Structure 1
Amino acid sequence: MVRSVRVGCSGWNYQSWRGTFYPPGLGTARWLAHYATRFDTVEVNSTFYRLASPQAVARWVEQTPERFLFTLKASRYLTHYKRLTELGAGVGRFYDAVRPLVKSSKLGPVLWQLPENFHRDDERLASALAGLPSGRHCVEFRHASWFADEVYEILRQHGAALVIGDAPERPFQSHELTTDWTLVRFHQGRRGRRGNYSAAELRDWAERIHRWRARVEVLAYFNNDWETFAPRNALVLRRELERLED
């Protein structure tokens, strides 16, 4: 069975996209609705920096099609300040703020990005995952010590996905698949100009994702948002995937 693939960007509210991805006269209040005509998923980075307002989240739900999917980045208070300890109250506040999404069919994974100076701690990871609400969760490790078979097994035991990050400064990141879905974050191309992904890189990634589809569902997000690289690269990747399906 071939699993689904969704491709999108890490956010939609970028002034540099005005006049390139967004029509020049389109007001910012309509940007998400326009974005949703081109993509069927988005990663929300703003939830990492501050709690969302339920009113704003309700508008996200209203402005997107029925099958649209939001991936939410977990609050840095939980990942960078609490560092996966004593999560109960903080997790509750995070989910309360996005309640309109939780009640809809549009809530995708919650992405837990750990800081670069957070070294491997198997017990803390297992305890944190065990206490999270039901739903999809994925973890982006940014220190090399985490990329080990024992850590992958903890993720498998809790049904969590390893975030597959593509960033030149972190060559140690793994393509390990730990559950029946995976999430790829494209941070910066290696061969394109100023972080743009080259056509060859995107073809290589399309072929890799196409192979994974025999085993897992794939969510892929481009985080290289400067100079409108993210939506451009995402659209090219999707075209390459469609070509492989023919």
Structure 2
Amino acid sequence: MNLYIGCSGWTYSGWKGTFYPSNIQNWQRLSYYSRFFNFIEVDSTFYYVPSRNIIHGWKNKTPHDFKFSFKFPQVITHVNKLEKVSKYLEYFFYVLEPILDKTLMLLIQLPSFMSAKVGLNSLRHFLLKLDKRYRYALEVRESSWFDFPIYDFLNQNNITLVWRVRPDLKTPTFVTTETIYLRFIGDRAIEERNFGINVRNKESELKEYVEHVKHSKEHHNIKDVIVTFNNNYAGLGPQLAGEFSRLMNESPQ
């Protein structure tokens, strides 16, 4: 089982003096980050799609076995709600092509207002347009998606159901593919300048999800486990990622 643990982004100024050295330059951050973690989730592609040159730079700044996941742009998932998005998909795949070999997963995050009744048919047609060279994960934010026919549909289409950990809505730990994608998300209550100052104790919840991963591995053919933390989950993403890695390594794999 391959274990990929990291954070949702790496450009935070609030990491200076807590995770990053105080004198680090912006262009050095990703290389420094990749010394400690083997994976990064790129959330920024939700807001804007970078150039291919930037993508090339990210690839070259990281070790050969370092992996990325990328979130689909909001113009696809939230603005157009998965419909009439062919031109946006074409550009997104074009930009990511240089880093294809380092891409673990592409993340489809649906808006919180999209129920299964409203969104399933759009999702069904959307999946037909996707580049088959990538693997995909679906994060839903409305409870009507938590139903066995939905899980069967995802399984049949080889789409990983994201385990979303946030107080307002936790995803059932149901396995739909050979991959587990676990996202620890906060409520943005912590200001960036306070990252690392007051880190909340989340050990009991982390242990709970370590057990979920172990249980799933015993009952399913799990090949990859992807775990990502944003800073607002507990106050400092790298610290929690490191703690989860430690707990996983303490447990029989």
TM-score w.r.t. the length of structure 2 is 0.88
Further displaced range: 110-119 or 222-231: 222-231
Q: Which residue of 1 aligns with 2:243?
A: 236
2:108 to 105, 108, 112: 112
1:95 to 89, 93, 96: 93
TM-score w.r.t. the length of structure 1 is 0.91
Q: Which residue of 1 aligns with 2:230?
A: 223
Q: Which residue of 1 aligns with 2:47?
A: 49
Q: Structure 2: which 5+ residue stretches go unaligned? A: 188-196
Question: What is the alpha-carbon distance in structure 2 between the residues aligned to residue 184 and residue 7 of structure 1?
Answer: 9
Q: Relative to 1, partners in 2 of residues 1:230 and 1:29: Cα closer, same or farther, differing over 3 Å?
A: same
| Contact 2:234–2:240 under 8 Å retained in 1 | no
Q: Relative to 1, partners in 2 of residues 1:26 and 1:20: Cα closer, same or farther, differing over 3 Å?
A: same
Offset at residue 223 of structure 1 (A): 1.5
Q: Which residue of 2 aligns with 1:209?
A: 213
Runs of at least 4 residues off by over 4 Å: 225-228
Q: Which residue of 1 aligns with 2:34?
A: 36
Question: What is the alpha-carbon distance in structure 2 between the residues aligned to residue 179 and residue 212 of structure 1?
Answer: 11
Q: Relative to 1, partners in 2 of residues 1:182 and 1:56: Cα closer, same or farther, differing over 3 Å?
A: same
Residues 91-116 of structure 1 deviation map (CA, whole Å, 9 limit, x = unaligned) = 001111222112xx201110010111
Offset at residue 235 of structure 1 (A): 0.1
Q: What's the RMSD between the two structures over aligned residues? A: 2.0
Q: Which residue of 2 aligns with 1:141?
A: 140
Partner of 1:8, secondary structure, is: strand
Offset at residue 226 of structure 1 (A): 7.7
Partner of 2:236, secondary structure, is: helix
2:72 to 71, 74, 97: 74
2:58 to 41, 60, 64: 60
Q: Relative to 1, partners in 2 of residues 1:197 and 1:10: Cα closer, same or farther, differing over 3 Å?
A: farther
Aligned length: 238
| Contact 2:6–2:39 under 8 Å retained in 1 | yes
Q: Relative to 1, partners in 2 of residues 1:46 and 1:92: Cα closer, same or farther, differing over 3 Å?
A: same
Question: What is the alpha-carbon distance in structure 2 between the residues aligned to residue 155 and residue 210 of structure 1?
Answer: 22
Q: Structure 1: which 5+ residue stretches go unaligned? A: none
Q: Which residue of 2 aligns with 1:151?
A: 150
